[in-house]
Structure 1
Amino acid sequence: MSHLKLYEIRGAQFNHENQTTRFCLYAPNARNVYVILIAYGFQQYRLEMVKNHENLWEIVTDKAPPGQRYLYLINDFRGREKLRIDPISFSVVSNRLTRQVQSVVHDEHAYVWNDQNWMRRRSQTNPLKLPLSIYEIQPKSWKSSVYWPMNYRQLTFDLINYCLEMGFTHVEMYGILEHTDRWEYGYQISNYFAPSRFNGQCDDLKYLIDHLHQNNIGVILDWVPTHFKHHHFFHGYSTSLHEYDGTDLYANVPSQWSTLYFDFDKEETRRLLFASALYFLDRLHFDGIRFDAVSQMIRRNQTDIPSAMTFLRELNQTIHTHYPGVMCIAEESEGYPNVNRALNFDLKWNFGWSNNARNFLRTPVTERAGHWREKILDVLNCARWSEDKMICTVSHDDTETGPFDSRNVLLNCASHARNEIEKFADLRNFFAWQICAPSRGHLIHMGDEIVQPMSWFQRCFRGKSSMDWSLSNSTSLHGRIQKCIQDLNHLYIRHRQFWEYGEESYSLIYEYAPNLVIAYHRGISNNYRIAVIHNFSDHGYRSYDIQLPKSDPNIERIQHVKEIFNTNQLQYGGSGTFQNERIEIDRNNMTLTVALPPLSTIVLNETLI
């Protein structure tokens, strides 16, 4: 590889053979560096490090076994002394007495993995040909208050059972990288190797991922390579990378998030972040990386940043070469052309779908025809013909507007509805649109599957679990829409027509803006073809004629058509009417006649001969 795996040589490397630990730190412009070994919160030993010919400070000692806490005391370029955490810490912990975060010596061989079958299958399989139903969570608040977060191990079996029940094939976790404050989202990063101390240490996270894999659930890391936390909270102590040796090793300019942008013209920036990504794949077995804020990383002030683009191309290519089966996913919000091909990403978030679908949900039914082309037809065509392969997402950002505002939660997006029954029907239709529409997968954020009335961050800010578990599996409309999403996910997984060829399997059957009805096919598998019909109006039809396209070569092959899903079922909170026990095809007039409930989606299975 063109970049070293820094985590193999830097940080605290414990040697089993001689029971010693080698500390290695890059601080080329520091005057002196010491390792401070800590016991009961305070200094136990102060060991002077020696600078070698590669500008690395080193020391080997038998006084730092696994579990030993430590900091570096750096006499920097300007003559200032400051205690710092190790920038390549594999675990960190909080010290309440000194109000410090401290690095921990970690034994990489202590945890024994049991996910060999998963890792072998992953390396032999193209992930773009498999179902991708993603559940996005913040581990520190999914089941508990951020002020009393659960350990990764404590979360493990609840998360496994929930994903299996709900039909999520993958978990995407944000707030994983070490960050400073409990109530933060987790995007102001202070360490690019240690998992967040709020949920435990390195081996605790391994335990969670290992058991998810043993239950055939993939894990995606939400990674933040664009900017980092630069504030120093105390005069003589800091957790930040900034001015680590008294000079600017990593930073560029201030970002829009009160952090600093990484400077990718600096070799040490590229080396550190390259190693961070590979570390989470190598040592923690993540199955994908979602790259946060790619738009701001590669282009700012209407100017491309070539060094950042080169970094992404090289990193993604390295991942594809050495970690087959791992997905590289871009969160790119500015519409950079062909970002997958240009930067070697596999997938990107479909911001066009997300924005248009939520805006369409906000639009009163009487006004939707005027937005039909832009928010429905153009979105479908973009998904089908775009150079980029995309995921339809409803993410943590989409429903969040701060600690005191819930206007963006999905429930309020449908506030124009005449009553709760119509509101939840519209929301069930929204999720059916997300899961059935042409894409390479979909992502749903915690709490949105029960369309909770308060945003996740408001609940988090108030010291509650981000997800309102009192609504889950209940007989309320919230619990019923959760059941609808559960069954939609399992329908999606069972029928490979939705995911084997992604958007390439899409073909339009019928659309009629005045009635707000659209129908499309999602491909053929083993002589079965899936058809999806959405009715975005509040008018239902006992008998609705879908005009079939004359260009369809498979019309004559249709032997039988069966309804296999209907969002209007009683168990989902619907009326239970407009069921299709029998579906007629008029080959002379090229029409398919169905019962079509209001604000609903039906899915049909066509048997071909």
Structure 2
Amino acid sequence: MLTIENMPQLYPSDFDLYLFHEGTLYEGYKLFGAHYIEGELGNGFRFTVWAPNARAISVVGDFNDWKPNSHPLKMVKHSGVWTGFIQDLSENVRYKYAIETRSGTIIFKADPFAFYAEKRPATASMTSRLDRYEWHDHKWLRTREKIDIYHRPMAIYECHLGSWKTKDGELMSYRELADELPDYVCDKGFTHIELMPIMEHPFDRSWGYQVTGLFAPTSRFGSPEDFMYFVDACHARGIGVILDWAPAHFCRDAHGLGRFDGTPLYEPVDPRLADRPQWGTYNFDFSKNEVVSFLISSARFWMDVFHVEGFRIDAVSSMVYLNHNDDLPYRLTNKNGGEENLEGIEFLKKLNATIFIKFPSALMIAEEATDYPLVTAPVDKGGLGFNYKWNMGWVHDILRYMSFPPEQRRDHHQLITFSMLYAYSENFILSFSHDELVYGKRSLLNKMPGDMWQKFANLRALYGYFITHPGKKLLFMGSEFAQFDEWKDLEQVDWKLLDQYETHRSFLKFSTALNHFYQEHACLWRLDHEGEGFEWIDADNNQQSVISFIRRGKRKGDYCIVVCNFTPTVYHDFKIGVPNAGTYLEMFNSDAELYGGSGQCNTEPVEAEDAPWNNQPYALKVTLPPLGMSIFMKETKKRLQEFTAHN
């Protein structure tokens, strides 16, 4: 074995160590972990790990029969960082760190910076190289840098790779998924795919939210290069890739980060701050600069090495508030006596500011469930620095509204209109996510009241409002064809429904057509985050449970009229106000027979009357479909051709 003394160029530099301890080593993955080194003195892997309270550390694996002290590491200048080089070590070799604690006990830990891990339930890290995959997405990356994401359509398909589709009852590989999933997502009218965490995790049913490897795509589906192939395939189809990422907490498994060197290291020393009883995990200690370097390096790693577009940050509320969602016998307070997690807030600001310096078009999406202000405001404006936030308030309100029988909805009308009072307080994504479809909450279809026809009609109306309401969109897998059962994380999506039932095939046609209609009409997304992009026509018709509004684009005359009827009553000659004279065409109707509806459509052009109505100078008389959504647009030559083709 060559020693570090023989190869001084392998030492971490003083500057790197300074940055690491300062909390600004944002590319820590280039230093820490197992790195293949080629040189005149030999080829092999250099290992570097942070464990300041260890008495000794060695690398163990199949190559030394897992015997501690066979390949010892050396601490660099009392920095708490240990490093060493093992000559002639090949790729895909299992290893761990044997760490001698202060008490003399030896514990075996996976590498926090490992790029690859052996397949669960085994827990060792694997040596790996990430520099040999030949990417084909150069044009995509150049184009991505120039995209104004705020003024573009965004329809996200949230996906759990382990249960999207299986093969003979087994998990599909990244490469098998790459050959099917990007095509499916693109064909169904989505612009992005959001993957529930694929960072390495020991327990399938944690869904990836309780990690052991923040730098390793889980080996359940293949190697790191296989995941690169998957991302590349998504980009080839014009699909952006968003990763769920959970920097709030980590699992307690013995081989993981917990008490890494025999002492609380990645978690706070105070057990009240360290424990997350609700999830059975440890919180990260954001007061330690080294932990900040570690976490920001993880985010940079996935963007630098795997070319992903960004992250949906899980459990932001628990990073912002010390007592969020924990039923503890005590209340935690900060140094000022408040319940804000001051260090967590500073970490989030630093994370976002750092990411946007290198990746201005990144997606940094907060799952934040409280009314904490300025989540999507820039850091220099006093915000947390995210550029999007899930609009969980709208989701909960609209799902509660839709759960009422139609005859009761008049008494709860505010649930579908209240969102416009705060729609522009943040940059929102409307998210029908997996969170709404598990633990007995039922699927979206099964949340709808009425008989089977009404359930499907209600869901079409709900999707119609979802797509036309200001904000970007997210839909969980299976919901695009109205899966009847809630999400079952150990089984594949209920694809059999499409083979057995016309209702689900028709609904998939509907959601696909709606997604493509959304992408093709700028008035539905161009001004998502600007108040001039939306205007109520009538928000107050609770007696008929009808709402109508205008969505506007940037160009003059680029607008559409949206009308939603949340009752099973067909309204003929229903009068709605419109802003301009002329001929209007019904360009989309959720009640079309093609989609499983009753066919109450406006199949002829409608002329605006010169009669003020709903505070608009003109009016249309139209048919409103039962439990349906209609979109009307001013006639143009192109729209008339489309209208004629569909009628």
- What TM-score, normalized by structure 1, do the two folds share? 0.91
Cα displacement (A) at 1:16: 4.1
Which whole-Å CA distance do the structure 2 matches of 1:272 and 1:422 have between them?
A: 51
Partner of 2:552: 523
Residue of structure 1 aligned with 2:48, choices 2, 20, 24: 24
Give the conservation status (yes or no) of the 8 Å contact 1:290–1:328: yes
Map Cα deviations across residues 142-166 of structure 1 (whole Å, 9 max, x no partner). 1128972111111002101111210
Which whole-Å CA distance do the structure 2 matches of 1:314 and 1:79 have between them?
A: 38
Which whole-Å CA distance do the structure 2 matches of 1:41 and 1:101 have between them?
A: 16
Partner of 2:263: 247
Between 297-306 and 243-252, report the one with greater CA deviation. 297-306
Map Cα deviations across residues 227-276 of structure 1 (whole Å, 9 max, x no partner). 110132xxxxx2x1011111111113211211111121122221111111
Secondary structure at 1:502 match in 2? coil
Which whole-Å CA distance do the structure 2 matches of 1:528 and 1:108 have between them?
A: 47
Secondary structure at 1:210 match in 2? helix
Partner of 2:87: 62
Partner of 1:478: 504
Partner of 1:410: 444
**What is the identity, as a one-letter code, of the residue corresponding to 2:550?**
H
Give the conservation status (yes or no) of the 8 Å contact 1:227–1:259: yes
Give the conservation status (yes or no) of the 8 Å contact 2:43–2:88: no
**What is the identity, as a one-letter code, of the residue corresponding to 2:203?**
D
Cα displacement (A) at 1:592: 1.4
State whether structure 2 residue 522 is matched by structure 1 residue 492: no
Which whole-Å CA distance do the structure 2 matches of 1:388 and 1:473 have between them?
A: 41
- Please give the residue correspondences for 1:505-524 in structure 2 after superposition, counting only pairs within 5 Å: 505-511=533-539, 512-524=541-553
Cα displacement (A) at 1:46: 3.3
Change (3 A) 1:361 1:250: same
- Please give the residue correspondences for 1:385-424 in structure 2 after superposition, counting only pairs within 5 Å: 386-401=424-439, 405=440, 407-414=441-448, 416-417=449-450, 419-424=451-456
Map Cα deviations across residues 440-496 of structure 1 (whole Å, 9 max, x no partner). x10000111222222213xx34xx21x111123765212211211111100010011
Which whole-Å CA distance do the structure 2 matches of 1:166 and 1:449 have between them?
A: 8
- Please give the residue correspondences for 1:529-608 in structure 2 after superposition, counting only pairs within 5 Å: 529-548=559-578, 555-556=579-580, 558-589=581-612, 590-607=618-635
Identity value in percent:
31
**What is the identity, as a one-letter code, of the residue corresponding to 1:485?**
S
Which whole-Å CA distance do the structure 2 matches of 1:14 and 1:147 have between them?
A: 37
- Please give the residue correspondences for 1:170-569 in structure 2 after superposition, counting only pairs within 5 Å: 170-232=192-254, 238=255, 240-252=256-268, 253-255=274-276, 256-301=278-323, 303-341=339-377, 342-373=383-414, 375-383=415-423, 386-401=424-439, 405=440, 407-414=441-448, 416-417=449-450, 419-439=451-471, 441-457=472-488, 460-461=489-490, 464-465=491-492, 467-472=493-498, 475-504=501-530, 505-511=533-539, 512-524=541-553, 525=555, 527-548=557-578, 555-556=579-580, 558-569=581-592
**What is the identity, as a one-letter code, of the residue corresponding to 1:247?**
T
**What is the identity, as a one-letter code, of the residue corresponding to 2:552?**
G
Between 20-29 and 36-45, report the one with greater CA deviation. 36-45
- What TM-score, normalized by structure 2, do the two folds share? 0.86
Secondary structure at 1:160 match in 2? helix
Give the conservation status (yes or no) of the 8 Å contact 1:37–1:44: no
Structure 2 unmatched runs, 5+: 1-18, 269-273, 324-337, 378-382, 613-617, 638-647
Secondary structure at 1:577 match in 2? coil
Map Cα deviations across residues 105-161 of structure 1 (whole Å, 9 max, x no partner). 111211111110111111112211211100001112211289721111110021011
Partner of 2:102: 77
Give the conservation status (yes or no) of the 8 Å contact 2:509–2:595: yes
Which whole-Å CA distance do the structure 1 matches of 2:265 and 2:300 have between them?
A: 21
Change (3 A) 1:86 1:68: same
Map Cα deviations across residues 270-319 of structure 1 (whole Å, 9 max, x no partner). 11111111111111111011110000111123600111111111111111
Which whole-Å CA distance do the structure 1 matches of 2:385 and 2:140 have between them?
A: 24
**What is the identity, as a one-letter code, of the residue corresponding to 1:494?**
E
Cα displacement (A) at 1:218: 0.1
Change (3 A) 1:286 1:312: same
Give the conservation status (yes or no) of the 8 Å contact 1:122–1:324: no
Give the conservation status (yes or no) of the 8 Å contact 1:146–1:183: no
Which whole-Å CA distance do the structure 2 matches of 1:70 and 1:392 have between them?
A: 43
Which whole-Å CA distance do the structure 2 matches of 1:131 and 1:534 have between them?
A: 22
Give the conservation status (yes or no) of the 8 Å contact 1:330–1:348: yes
Give the conservation status (yes or no) of the 8 Å contact 1:537–1:599: yes
**What is the identity, as a one-letter code, of the residue corresponding to 1:571?**
L
Which whole-Å CA distance do the structure 1 matches of 2:60 and 2:560 have between them?
A: 64
CA RMSD for the aligned pairs? 2.1
Cα displacement (A) at 1:513: 1.1
Partner of 1:8: 30
Which whole-Å CA distance do the structure 2 matches of 1:55 and 1:40 have between them?
A: 25
Which whole-Å CA distance do the structure 2 matches of 1:227 and 1:206 have between them?
A: 26
Which whole-Å CA distance do the structure 1 matches of 2:457 and 2:38 have between them?
A: 60
Cα displacement (A) at 1:19: 2.7
Cα displacement (A) at 1:411: 2.3
Secondary structure at 1:514 match in 2? coil
**What is the identity, as a one-letter code, of the residue corresponding to 1:454?**
D
Which whole-Å CA distance do the structure 2 matches of 1:368 and 1:41 have between them?
A: 69
**What is the identity, as a one-letter code, of the residue corresponding to 2:421?**
N
Q: Where is the strand percentage greater, Structure 1 or Structure 2?
A: 1
Cα displacement (A) at 1:41: 9.0
State whether structure 2 residue 60 is matched by structure 1 residue 36: yes
- Please give the residue correspondences for 1:85-234 in structure 2 after superposition, counting only pairs within 5 Å: 85-94=110-119, 100-144=122-166, 148-232=170-254
Which whole-Å CA distance do the structure 2 matches of 1:154 and 1:165 have between them?
A: 18
Give the conservation status (yes or no) of the 8 Å contact 2:433–2:474: yes
Structure 1 unmatched runs, 5+: 233-237, 549-554
**What is the identity, as a one-letter code, of the residue corresponding to 1:564?**
M
Give the conservation status (yes or no) of the 8 Å contact 1:585–1:592: yes
**What is the identity, as a one-letter code, of the residue corresponding to 2:84?**
I
Map Cα deviations across residues 361-398 of structure 1 (whole Å, 9 max, x no partner). 1011111111112x111113321xx3201011100111
Cα displacement (A) at 1:40: 12
Give the conservation status (yes or no) of the 8 Å contact 1:559–1:608: no
Secondary structure at 1:198 match in 2? helix
